[in-house]
């Protein structure tokens, strides 16, 4: 299996020494996405709902650049700065992963990069 670095301008550039995603012939492993605007590189305004939408849009763009899609995601990990935001994040998440959603873990963390409220990473099959 070959390993390839995935990069797209439709998602925020990495803010450290990592790739947006790594793909193989059959799978894609994304870095965690926070609610950065891909153009400005700045955290978007708003609460956890707005940030979750931006995170999932960024994730969608990374997956598509890797030859996959949200429909091919088999596992996500959600990092929340406040577990009290779980219901709001979950409602937005359900809009993107309706029927047959992927397996998921959700954990609360002390802090996220750039003061984000939510970060999501994914593992997906190549379409």
For the chain, what is the domain count?
1
Domain that residue 39 falls in: 4-125
Could you tell me where the DSSP H helices lie in the chain? 48-65, 86-96
The residue whose two tokens read 């409602």 is 91
Over pLDDT 90: what percentage of the chain?
95
- Would you give the DSSP letter of residue 44? P
CATH number of 38's domain: 3.30.1330.40
Q: Is the pLDDT of residue 91 over 80?
A: yes
The set of residues, in sequence order, having a beta carbon less than 8 Å from that of 40 and lying 6+ positions away, is none
Longest dimension (CA), the chain: 41
Average of per-residue pLDDT across 25-44: 97
Q: Is the pLDDT of residue 2 over 80?
A: yes
The per-residue pLDDT for range 60-84, each reduced to its tens digit, is 999 999 999 999 999 999 999 999 9
């Amino acid at each position: 299996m070959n390993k390839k670095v995935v990069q797209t301008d439709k998602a925020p550039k990495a803010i450290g020494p990592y790739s947006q995603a790594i793909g193989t012939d059959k799978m894609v492993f994304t870095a965690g996405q926070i609610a950065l605007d891909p153009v400005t590189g700045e955290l978007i305004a708003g609460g956890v709902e707005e940030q979750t939408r931006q995170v999932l849009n960024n994730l969608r763009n990374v997956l598509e650049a890797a030859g996959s899609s949200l429909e091919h995601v088999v596992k996500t990990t959600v990092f929340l700065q406040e577990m009290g935001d779980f219901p709001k994040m979950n409602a937005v998440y359900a809009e993107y992963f309706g029927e047959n959603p992927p397996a998921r873990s959700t954990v609360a963390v002390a802090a996220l990069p750039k003061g984000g409220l939510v970060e999501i990473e994914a593992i997906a099959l190549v379409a």
